[in-house]
Amino acid sequence: MRNIFILYMPPGNAEAMVHYQETIRQKVAPEKIFQHASAGLSRKLQAIFGNHRIAVWGSRDSAANRVKFDRMKDGDEILIVEGGTIKLLGRVACKTVNPALSHELWKGLRGQESSSWDLIYFIANPREIELQFTKFLKLIGYQANYQLRGFTSIAADRLEKFYEKYDDLYSILMRIKQGKPVEEKSTPNVIADPPSNPYSTGGDAHQEAKEEVVSDHLRMQWVLLNMGLRAGEKVWAPRNDQSRITSRFQFTGFEEKFAAGLNAQVKYVENIDVVWKEEYRIDAAFEIENTTSVYSGLLRFADLTMVAPNTLYPMFIVAPSERRNRVREQLNRPIFRHLRLGEKVSYLSYETVQEVDDFFGDEGKGLSVEVLVGKSEKLGD
């Protein structure tokens, strides 16, 4: 179960706001951190952030703060609150106790000695939100007059109740900000099993057709994986597919370990054909469908929608253009209509993916999830 930590900045605190601007909004160059970090910490940060600038924050090394800091785990949620407003939500990438780094990052204003914020945490996926803190308090079950001070965490019983009902905190807060309803999780796997594999019987002709389908499927996985890297994303394919993709296309750019930040829901994501992601957040999910049913890919998305109904990232069915109508038919099955899957899942043809891939070329400058969203179609009625 992920912890939720809250860092409070009193309104008008000039020192805190300058530090927020310098080490959260602008982030910190990795080399500035590495000169004060151990070799192990530097390797870990390099694996998570690459050569990108890193968001960093810290707390004073008091006895009370140490208790909370010691409970902090990679992937835990971090909220930074100023006055009555949530300014930012992110994830703990890793942590360190480091007075030298604290002194390097947070020098005092006008040259005076700064407070020592030695309990340091590196923040993955920082997202500015600007949402009333009372909205979060209501969501977590606290009274609106809850008094927030310094560095605190949400009680375990509140976390258990929250995670029993809800999925991704960032998506939920953004839905609240946008005035959209927040949905509770459901039990997955209530949909009937997909139709039998059309290649499960027959002779050599069927086996040849199956091998051709697998080849086309693998090639499209490889194309989407390469596009993801050029778009600046981390990429993932199911473990069982990775060796085949590497063998056929010499592709080795997979994320080493799937870190989705979704707790038990990971199993519903890590078997999706291609995932584009950041450190602890998914940016896009792709199911590639060559077979006659199109059912299996939509079934994975249906399960994911039930265990994580508030997620905001786009989901794509990728299939040849001649299968467009088949995708529409399947999206309009009663169970998928009931789950409103047509509102969340878009269609991309093989031809469109190839067109985008060719247009952006090897450099990939400007390639993004938004480009594919703009090229996709909503087929549900």
196 domain-assigned = no
Give the pLDDT score at 171: 86
Q: What is the pLDDT of residues 217-242, one digit of tens each?
A: 899 999 999 999 999 899 999 998 99
Give the pLDDT score at 12: 78
For 94, how many CA atoms within 13 A lie in the half-sphere containing its CB?
A: 16
Q: Binning pLDDT at 50, 70 and 90, where does residue 260 land?
A: low
Q: How far apart are CA 346 and CA 152, in angstroms?
A: 40
Q: What is the CA radius of gyration of the chain?
A: 23
Q: What is the pLDDT of residues 292-340, one digit of tens each?
A: 567 788 888 888 877 777 778 899 999 999 888 988 988 888 888 888 8
Residues 46 and 145 occupy one common structural domain = yes
> Is the per-residue pLDDT at 114 higher than 60?
no
Q: Binning pLDDT at 50, 70 and 90, where does residue 243 land?
A: very high
> Is the per-residue pLDDT at 193 higher than 50?
no
Residues 10 and 108 occupy one common structural domain = yes
Instruction: Name the residue range of residue 226's domain.
Output: 205-375
Mean pLDDT score of the chain: 84
Please state whether beta strands 345-349 and 315-319 pair in parallel, antiparallel, or not at all (unpaired).
parallel
Give the pLDDT score at 364: 78
Provide the domain count of the chain: 2
Residues 115 and 47 occupy one common structural domain = yes
192 domain-assigned = no
Q: How far apart are CA 77 and CA 90, in angstroms?
A: 6
Residues 12 and 119 occupy one common structural domain = yes
184 domain-assigned = no
CATH at 22:
3.10.590
Q: Binning pLDDT at 50, 70 and 90, where does residue 111 land?
A: low
199 domain-assigned = no
Residues 34 and 87 occupy one common structural domain = yes
pLDDT over 90, % of the chain: 47
170 domain-assigned = yes
Q: Convert 20-61 into a string of H (helix), E (strand) and C (coil).
A: HHHHHHCCECHHHHHCCCCHHHHHHHHHHHCCCCEEEEEECC
Q: At what angle do helices 350-360 and 204-230 cross, to 10 degrees?
A: 40
Return the H-helix or E-strand segment holding 160: helix 156-165
Q: Binning pLDDT at 50, 70 and 90, where does residue 264 land?
A: very low
Q: What type of residue is 87?
A: K
Give the pLDDT score at 342: 87
Residues 339 and 257 occupy one common structural domain = yes
Question: Angle 64-120-73 (CA atoms, 0-180°, nearest 5)?
Answer: 75
Q: How far apart are CA 173 and CA 136, in angstroms?
A: 7
pTM of the predicted protein model = 0.74
Residues 223 and 361 occupy one common structural domain = yes
Give the pLDDT score at 303: 81
Residues 303 and 361 occupy one common structural domain = yes
198 domain-assigned = no
184-193, 236-245, 268-277, 336-345: which is most confident: 236-245
258 domain-assigned = yes
> Is the per-residue pLDDT at 81 higher than 80?
yes
Residues 171 and 229 occupy one common structural domain = no
DSSP state of 292: S
> Is the per-residue pLDDT at 207 higher than 50?
no
Residues 18 and 115 occupy one common structural domain = yes
Give the pLDDT score at 263: 52
Q: What type of residue is 89?
A: L
Give the pLDDT score at 34: 95
Distances (CA, A) of 173 to 9, 89, 107, 138, 167: 20, 9, 33, 11, 11
> Is the per-residue pLDDT at 160 higher than 50?
yes
Q: How far apart are CA 85 and CA 136, in angstroms?
A: 10
Residues 63 and 172 occupy one common structural domain = yes
Tokens representing 355 are: 């067109």
Residues 292 and 162 occupy one common structural domain = no
Cβ atoms of residues 345 and 301 within 8 Å = yes
Q: Binning pLDDT at 50, 70 and 90, where does residue 279 land?
A: confident
380 domain-assigned = no
Examine the fold and report which residue of 160, 177, 194 is the final residue of a domain before the chain moves on.
Answer: 177
Examine the fold and report which residue of 177, 195, 228 is the final residue of a domain before the chain moves on.
Answer: 177
Q: How far apart are CA 320 and CA 331, in angstroms?
A: 16
Q: What is the pLDDT of residues 51-68, one digit of tens each?
A: 889 999 999 999 999 999
